[in-house]
Every structure is written in structure tokens, then in C-alpha cells.
Amino acid sequence: MIDVTTARTLAISYIGISHKSSGRVREHLLRKDVPEDIAEQAISSLCSDGYIDDLRVAQSIRRLRHGRNAEGLRKLRLRLIDAGIPAQVADDAMLTFPSDEETIVELVRERICPDYLRASQFESFQINHWMRKSYHFLLSRGYSSDLALRALREGLRDVE
């Protein structure tokens, strides 16, 4: 039978020098046949000792999702939860993240506008097709439809 000390050792070995969310550590321990109650105790003690910090993991993920890689808050929240961060921690972390209005401006400036300038050089360029494609790209990044349209209009106005 696996005890809390053994579960902690398994978790610390898995974490190594990286940062892992409590959800990822929980999955690892359960795959190693650690009983769920023992896994929860081990995770709780590792959180108390600072080995696991879901807020730090959330901030790390956020730092990767800016500029050309920016995402809307809805999509970013799902990404955090998929990374094993509890929903409440994800919600708390998101209070410190930039708004969709800020991040979409970066995304349009760093990715959409350069693409427009490249594509518009060709005779075969079709603005309607390009706009539709760019609009759907922004929607896929988790931005609302009205914000995506507004950001595209303003971004292209600045380019022209």
C-alpha cells in the first residue's frame, strides 16, 4: 500500500525542476496507482511546501500567450483548466491578466496587419476572403465577434 510519504516522493520526482499544476501531479499519481485520498494529501502537503503553485503555472502560461500568440480570456481560461489548474485558481489568476481589448490589439498589430501587407501585394488578393479568414482566426483565439470585427477595422485603418 502506498502512503503519503511515498506519494510525495513520486510527485517530487515527477515535478523535478519544472513547474507542474496540481492537476498534472494528481494525474501522474493516479497513473502510478496511488489511491485518490493519498494523492490529495500528498498534493496538499506539496502545495503547502511550495513544490506545487498553480498560480505560478497560470502566470507562466499567460506569459506565453501574448503578441502573436495572444488569446482571449475565455480561451485562456480553458487552456489553464486543461493544464490541470483548478477552475477557482484559473479565475483568480485571470483577474491579473490583460483584457481582451488589450491583447487583441497586440495580436492584430503583430500578426494580422503584417499578413495583410504581405497578402495585399498580390494581384489575386481578395479583401473579402482575407477579412473572413482573419475574422475566423480571431474567433478561434477566443475573442468575441464584435471585438474581432472592431479590432480588424481599426487595425486595417491604421495600416492604410
Quick one: cell of 12? 517530487
pLDDT for res 12: 87
Query: pLDDT higher for 1 or 86?
Result: 86
Give the pTM.
0.84
Considering the domain architecture, whether residues 97 and 115 belong to the same structural domain is answered as yes
For 62-69, what is the mean pLDDT? 91
CB atoms within 10 A of CB 31: 10
How many residues are recorded in the chain? 160
pLDDT (tens digit per residue) in 121-140: 999 999 999 999 999 999 99
| pLDDT of residue 73 exceeding 90 | yes
What's the structural domain count of the chain? 2
Considering the domain architecture, whether residues 69 and 48 belong to the same structural domain is answered as no
Considering the domain architecture, whether residues 43 and 59 belong to the same structural domain is answered as no
CATH number of the structural domain spanning residue 40:
1.10.10
Asked if 38 contacts 4 with a C-beta cutoff of 8 angstroms, the reply is yes
Q: Which stretches of 1-156 are assigned E, i.e. beta strand? A: none
Q: How far apart are CA 73 and CA 120, in angstroms?
A: 31
Based on its alpha-carbon atoms, the radius of gyration of the chain, rounded to whole angstroms, reads: 21
Considering the domain architecture, whether residues 58 and 127 belong to the same structural domain is answered as yes
Number of H helices, E strands in the chain: 10, 0
pLDDT (tens digit per residue) in 80-130: 999 999 999 999 999 999 999 999 999 999 999 999 999 989 999 999 999
Considering the domain architecture, whether residues 108 and 72 belong to the same structural domain is answered as yes
Considering the domain architecture, whether residues 59 and 132 belong to the same structural domain is answered as yes
Q: How far apart are CA 113 and CA 37, in angstroms?
A: 52
Considering the domain architecture, whether residues 59 and 29 belong to the same structural domain is answered as no
Q: How far apart are CA 90 and CA 67, in angstroms?
A: 21
What single string gives the DSSP state of each residue in 108-135?
A: IIIIIHHHHHHHTTSTT--HHHHHHHHH
Considering the domain architecture, whether residues 80 and 118 belong to the same structural domain is answered as yes
Considering the domain architecture, whether residues 67 and 139 belong to the same structural domain is answered as yes
pLDDT for res 92: 95
| pLDDT of residue 41 exceeding 90 | yes
Q: What is the dihedral of CA 98, 99, 104, 110, to 10 degrees?
A: -10
Q: Which residues, in sequence order, are CB contacts of 28 under 8 Å at separation 6+?
A: 10, 11, 14, 20
Considering the domain architecture, whether residues 13 and 29 belong to the same structural domain is answered as yes
Q: How far is CA 125 from CA 114, 133, 149, in A?
A: 14, 13, 20
Considering the domain architecture, whether residues 44 and 60 belong to the same structural domain is answered as no
Q: Which of 15, 30, 52 is the last residue of a domain?
A: 52
Considering the domain architecture, whether residues 73 and 34 belong to the same structural domain is answered as no
Where in the sequence is the domain holding 153, given as residue range(s)?
A: 54-160
